[in-house]
Amino acid sequence: MFGLTPDDWTAVALSLRIASVATVVSLPFGIAIAYVLARKRFWGKSLLDAVIYLPLVLPPVVTGYLLLITLGRRAPVGAFLADHFGIVLSFRWTGAVVSCGVMAFPLMVRAIRLSIEAIDRRLEEAGMTLGADPFWTFVTITLPLTLPGIIAGMMLAFARALGEFGATITFVSNIPGETQTISAAIYTLTQVPGGDVAALHLVIVAVAISFAALFASEWLARRAAARLHGE
């Protein structure tokens, strides 16, 4: 189909899997960090803010390198994870999930944070007068009202994860069937003479996936917004 080879399909499937898992796994952390940044005042807040946004401004290769020297098989954190939990990230697709998640995280946090900051806090106060403690206020009022931001944040993170190249190839290399995503596969194809035609097929698939994700999130966001405006 579409003139794709089985190897190409493997890369497409792997990209979708890595981007989806990275988005879903980082979501709870994204919501928690966005909430803390939007609502809490504490010492070191600007530092946390800066660290979260760092992958956005650092060259992706630098982020990948930093992941390699912390989470690599012989690196301190990586060795600890491998020895105690049997978790190995380097040169595995799970490592690509980590690098994509890290690269996408600032975009996700930013979208959710803006949404939380836009919430009318008087609604939360009304919930409290009706007997809702802070936990239930968050679950029944804050979280549903943040939904448009959560959808936008997931969409941005997914797109960013799908397009991730530099950090991923630096951290987990470019192994077909394990860490070779669409981007890495396109890069590999363009490195061989006459590979650009084969690369074009993958490019078309990448464009199609991005369009589909964009439309899906637009549709979801519109539905969520309509519900939130009480209609």
Contact residues toward other proteins (CB under 8 A) are 120, 122-123, 125-133, 136-137, 140-141, 144-145, 147, 227-231
Counting other chains too, the contacts that 193-198 makes at CB distance below 8 Å and 24 or more residues apart are 198/3, 198/5, 198/8
Q: Which residue from 107, 96, 101, 98 is spatially nearest to 15, judged by alpha carbons?
A: 96
Q: How far apart (Å, rounded) are the C-alpha atoms in residues 212 and 84?
A: 41
Q: Looking at beta carbons only, is 101 or 148 nearer to other proteins?
A: 148
Q: Looking at beta carbons only, is 102 or 145 nearer to other proteins?
A: 145
Least CB distance to other proteins at residue 121 (A):
10
The alpha carbon of residue 96 and the mean position of all alpha carbons in its chain are separated, in whole angstroms, by 11
The end-to-end CA distance of the chain, in Å, is 43
Q: Looking at beta carbons only, is 212 or 226 nearer to other proteins?
A: 226
Least CB distance to other proteins at residue 186 (A):
42
Least CB distance to other proteins at residue 111 (A):
18
Least CB distance to other proteins at residue 147 (A):
8
Q: How far apart (Å, rounded) are the C-alpha atoms in residues 41 and 224?
A: 29
Q: Looking at beta carbons only, is 65 or 138 nearer to other proteins?
A: 138
Does residue 182 contact residue 205 with C-beta atoms inside 8 Å? yes
Least CB distance to other proteins at residue 113 (A):
19
Q: Looking at beta carbons only, is 35 or 105 nearer to other proteins?
A: 35
